[in-house]
Amino acid sequence: MTSAVIRDMLPGDAPAIAAIYSHYITHTTVTFEEQPVSADEMQRRAEAVTAAGLPWLVAEAAGAVVGYAYATPWKPRSAYRFSVEATVYVADAARGRGHGRALYAALFERLRAQGLHAVLGGITLPNDASIALHEAMGMTKVAHLPEVGFKFGRWLDVGYWHRLL
């Protein structure tokens, strides 16, 4: 398991978070964003999440942010208010060390304590590592959307995984 400390995001974490995410934007299809995101933009996004009363967590190891996870409202309609979408990213150099699982475990516990009921996670397919993480966290595949994204010159599918808290 990870030796990282899981904690709430602090404003000074935004540059590291932006760097982690921008790697995935420019080198992978796991996110459908296509332009790197600035630290200021990541800070703005984090503030929007926490202003909605939802957690944004980071994993810190050896004094560096090595990953992050957060939840956003699933849909804006009031009947969805107990459902969220969870997101997790781990620095490329820190993958495979349990940081993603530790982040999700802490996030899910926080969401449960807040009275939330269901959590969903979207995965660009194929992505065996992300599928394994989501299923290790007790999530099951509930949807497969063919060719809903287009990045790096190809059509991409998205699957959704779900679990009750």
Angle in degrees, CA 35, 85, 40, rounded to 5:
35
pLDDT recorded at residue 93: 85
β-strands 118-125, 83-90 pairing = parallel
pLDDT recorded at residue 2: 61
pLDDT recorded at residue 3: 78
* Domain span holding position 140: 5-164
Q: What is the CATH number of the domain that holds 68?
A: 3.40.630.30
pLDDT recorded at residue 96: 80
pLDDT recorded at residue 132: 96
Q: What is the mean pLDDT of each run of 10 residues along the chain (165 residues)?
A: 86 96 97 97 97 97 96 97 98 88 97 98 96 97 98 98 98
> Total structural domains in the chain?
1
Question: 27-36 — which CB contacts under 8 Å span 24+ positions?
Answer: 27/92, 29/124, 29/149, 29/151, 29/152, 29/154, 29/156, 30/123, 30/124, 30/127, 30/130, 31/124, 32/124, 32/149, 32/151, 32/156, 34/151
pLDDT recorded at residue 95: 87
